[in-house]
Structure 1
Amino acid sequence: MIPNRHDDGEHPRRNHWEKEADMPAVPSPFRPRKPKVEPPSQSKMNVPVERAIEHCRVFVDGEALPGEYTVNSALEAVEEYGRGFVWVGLVEPVEHQMTRVAEQFGIHELIVEDAVLAHQRPKLERYDDQLFVVARSVNYRDSDEVTDRRDVISTGEVQMLMGKNFLITVCHKAKLPNLAYTVADEQSLVEIGPVAMVWKILDMLVDRYSEISALLAVEVDEIEEEVFEPGVKFDVNRIYLYKREILEMKHAIEPLSAALKSLVENNKDLIDKQIRSYLRDVNDHQSVVKDHIQSFDERLSSLLDVSVAKVSMQQNTDMRTISAVVGMAAVPTLIAGIYGMNFDNMPELHLEYGYYISIAFMVITVGAIFWWFRKNNWL
Structure 2
Amino acid sequence: MDQRPPTTRWRTTLPTLLRRALRRPTPTTPPATHPTNPDAVVDCAVYIDGQRQPGRPHYTDAHHHSRRNRRAFVWLGLHDPTPAVMTAVGHTFGLDDLHIAQALTAGHRPTLQRHDDTTLLVLRTAAYVEHTELTDTSEVVDTGDIMIFIGDRFVVTVRHGAPGALTTVRHHLQQRRALLTEGPWAVAYAICARMVDQYLDVANHVETDLERLEETVFARDRTADIAHIYQLKREIVELKRAVLPAQTPLRTLAGPTDGPSPALRRWFTDVDGDLARAVDRVNAYDDLLNSILQSRLAQLAVEQNNDMRKIAAWAAIAATQTAVAGIYGMNFTHMPELHWRYGYAGALLLMATAALTLHRLFRRSGWL
Q: TM-score range by the shorter chain?
A: 0.7 to 0.9
Task: Name which of 262, 269, 280 aligns with 1:291.
Answer: 280
In the other structure, the counterpart of 1:186 is: 176
Query: Aligned residue for 1:161?
Result: 149
Any idea what SS the aligned residue of 2:104 has?
helix
**Contact 2:67/2:153 (<8 A) preserved:** no
Maintained 8 Å contact 1:64/1:180:
no
Mapping 1:245-284, distance limit 5 Å: 245-267=235-257, 269-284=258-273
What runs of 5+ residues in structure 2 fail to find an aligned partner?
1-35
Give the conservation status (yes or no) of the 8 Å contact 1:135–1:157.
yes
Q: How far did residue 80 of structure 1 move?
A: 4.6
CA contact (8 A) 1:49 1:100 kept: no
Tell me how far apart the structure 1 counterparts of residues 131 and 137 of structure 2 sit (CA, whole Å). 6
Kept in 1: contact 2:254–2:272 (CA 8 A): no
Q: Distance in 2 between matches of 1:216 and 1:154?
A: 12
- Give 1:199-238 correspondences, 5 Å limit: 199-230=189-220, 232-238=222-228
Q: How does 1:167-182 map to 2 (within 5 A)?
A: 167-174=155-162, 175-178=164-167, 179-182=169-172
| RMSD of equivalent CA atoms | 2.1
* Structure 1: gaps (5+ residues): 1-47
Amino acid at match of 1:94: T
Match of 1:321 among 305, 310, 315: 310
Q: Secondary structure at the match of 1:144?
A: coil
Q: Which amino acid aligns with 1:372?
A: L
In 2, distance between residues paired with 1:352 and 1:301?
Answer: 68
Which stretch shifts more, 96-105 or 317-326? 96-105
From 298, 307, 325, the equivalent of 1:336 is: 325
- Residue 145 of structure 1 deviates from its aligned partner by 7.1
Calculate the TM-score normalised by the size of structure 1: 0.82
Q: How many residues are paired up?
A: 331
| CA separation of 1:180 and 1:312: change in aligned 2, threshold 3 A | closer
Q: Secondary structure at the match of 2:143?
A: strand
Is the aligned partner of 1:98 residue 2:86? yes
| 2:344 paired residue among 346, 352, 355 | 355
The 8 Å contact of residues 49 and 97 in structure 1, kept in 2 or not, is answered as: no
User: For residues 285 and 129 of structure 1, what CA distance do their matches in structure 2 show?
Assistant: 29
How does the TM-score come out when normalised to structure 2?
A: 0.84
Who is 1:126 aligned against?
114
Corresponding position of 2:44: 56
Say if 2:106 and 2:144, in contact at 8 Å, map to a contact too: no
Query: In structure 2, what is the equivalent of residue 69 of structure 1?
Result: 57
Say if 1:264 and 1:276, in contact at 8 Å, map to a contact too: yes
SS at match of 1:149: coil
Equivalent position amino acid for 2:181 in 1: E
